Structure 1
Amino acid sequence: MRNNNNHASQWQPATVTIHGGKRRDEHGALVAPLYQTATFSFETTAQGSARFAGEQEGYIYSRLGNPTVNELEVRVAQLEGYAAGAASATGMGAVSAAMLAFLEQGDHVVVADAIYGCSFALFSHLFAKFGISVDFVDMTDANNVAAAMRSNTKMVFIETPANPHLKVIDIAAVAAIAERYQARVIVDNTFMTPLLQRPREQGAHLVIHSATKYLNGHGDVVAGLICGSAEDIELIKMTTLKDMGATMSPHDAWLILRGLKTLDVRMERHCRNAMQVADYLVGHKKVRRVYFPGLPDHPAQQLMGTQMHGYGAVIAFELQGDQATAQRMLDRLQLITIAVSLGDAETLIQHPASMTHSPYTPEARAKAGISDTLVRISVGLEAVDDILRDLEQAIGFAYSASDPAKPAEQQGEPLAYG
């Protein structure tokens, strides 16, 4: 097969989502073949030896490389503007492999104080076992980053917009500080995708994605991706990713390649729906506060057109009342699904304090601004009027159901769709 990507750097992102990394198949197949194989055969022992020695290009074993996986790696790296990519079995596999490839005992890491719960657990619990120290800081003020840096700081980890309440971090400002200490900056770009934010342009050395989310878009894959320089990606692939075994299966890569083809049109619909949902929530008298980069008073507005080129489709909001109020609202939803992922065609909703961010201590949750009434919603691709009607009836029910003994039929009828 020969590569059909000589002009990929000249293509628009919407084109790269379809054609990036594509090779011409010897049989003329339009869709990339799925190389569902564990190992690859050699014509001779000399050929096998040469491939293991790195003297000859070619595939050896799917944990070390696979044509289907490689096409995905190239496509996402091109979208992010990097030279190379590495695919992993999960988003957390990407975080772990990318970080640990460059860290050793005695090193120090500076991490944003609001990140995904399992990333927080990795940094706060497991890193300590291996003698790697971590400081969590509010990076919305770059001065906090400067104050946290040490002579042994090797990496700075950012998630922006932050999970779950959409805090935004000026990547360029943080990268300028990290450069003075020769520390690598790694950015989790899951919420934005390369279509809405390209951290490399702001100075990031590595970008990771939970490919489970928007890149795949269909809720049927668990996967991760890392993008960076050819040298950094080669190191990650040949050390932590290979030796910890967190590599992606060819079938998962094939599914994500299929999902990527509609990323551009999906993100357009996701973002449009999310803006309407955010406007609805802002106007609701039972909603105390809404966190969404598209709102005019959100700090993200300062970065629009430079760092960010869209608002995304994840919204967080705080209800009036207590945790029980929030849970009553979630339990009443009929169209919107209670689930902890995001980026699917379906609208998904969850309660961060008791779900995704339960690894945080109560003190850490308070510091990160994750209250007991905070709800996170990933706005899907359904007709937006149906999403709004479901929210309306569920929020209304949460405040009318003050008497737990009151029969459900007296608390409002279920919605009918279609």
Structure 2
Amino acid sequence: MTVNIKRLNASQSDFDSQLATLLAWDDSVDHQVNESVRHILHEVKTRGDKAVLEFTEKFDRLNVASVAELEMSQARLRQALKTIPEDQRVALQQAADRVRDYHERQDQKSWQYQDEDGTVLGQKVTPLDRAGLYVPGGKAAYPSSVLMNAIPAKVAGVAEVIMVVPTPDGVVNDLVLAAAAIAGVDRVFTVGGAQAVGALAYGTETIPAVDKIVGPGNIYVATAKREVFGTVGIDMIAGPSEILVICDGKTDPDWIAMDLFSQAEHDEQAQSILISPDADFLNAVETSINKLLPTMERADIIRTSMTDRAALIHVADLSEAAKVSNRIAPEHLELSVENPEALLEEIRHAGAIFMGRYTAEALGDYCAGPNHVLPTSGTARFSSPLGVYDFQKRSSIIGFSAKGADRMGRVASVLARGEGLTAHARSAEYRIKND
């Protein structure tokens, strides 16, 4: 069955509306999902461990007497690390080392300075006390997500990282547990779904409340994170995976086709877009797509994704390609061109930018070093990849000298009285020297 991919041309008068239609994605939450999640969160908030046990039995078919039985010991994590195949252990460690090395460069330090009056101003950077990490379980087990979420938290100095991961029917993924051991996760509970998010947000008798919840999950998990935001911080509400490739027409079409597949295989809603000034190359990539698709294990998912949401966009030149890319603000952007550094200057909005023909997006998912938790659905216009800074908070430091309090108190007095806030003004005026 041939895949017919949407074709867009930036020179057409209706290109803007066609692009808007292509990018449209309905992230509204089903009413029933909303009601179900709110019910689960309320039960966990008011009934704690009992509610967690009931929902774990209902959704994961695990019947245990206490939540304590759902906690994995550090010894169990170390055992998983020992028992996984040697090549997996080495690969996990290599990936973890690169992720840690990259994120250590993001670590922000406190700073202070003194002005001419002797007043001290600055910023105190403090790690969160406790972070919660949600890790999908069952078929969707992603040890790479453990590394990408837990390592920045640890580099930031978070004292305790609590991981939750569902184990339907008691099936445990040793690779996920091994990743937790390597990343330095402090506690692991085999709890999933909205009930796990509720437990992390509100705390139960056994599971401690955290300050921020990070990590991917299904629609119930995403909805629960949205609901508890404000009680705790969250990383983001992620939409479907995206890749946008800008190519000058000189990369092997098979390479580009497989790069597009690498996101399309995530799920049917994933979006893969190729932009090129070479119309013949767009044709060649479409030929490669149809040639390679039958060889893919997840061919049905890829076919649906490519049919429903993919596009091949013809542009006049690479500069126009950059302009279109900036409008899309993709999660992953590959610059598969001769001189990616020059094109980079024109890129304003992207979660991660992959430079040159040899930089497959898949490397970024696992072992390049930068974080693979990235803004989706155009949110790269105003947000950034997950990083050490997401697990730190900043407090302003203000310490006025007597001279500074006199000088700036006069300024504050004028502004406060202008706003009609007399107590503000008099509080500042008490520190003003009488002439």
Output the TM-score relative to the length of structure 1.
0.30
Larger radius of gyration: 2
Output the TM-score relative to the length of structure 2.
0.29
* Larger relative contact order (CA 8 Å, sep ≥ 6): 2
Of Structure 1 and Structure 2, the greater helix share is in: 2
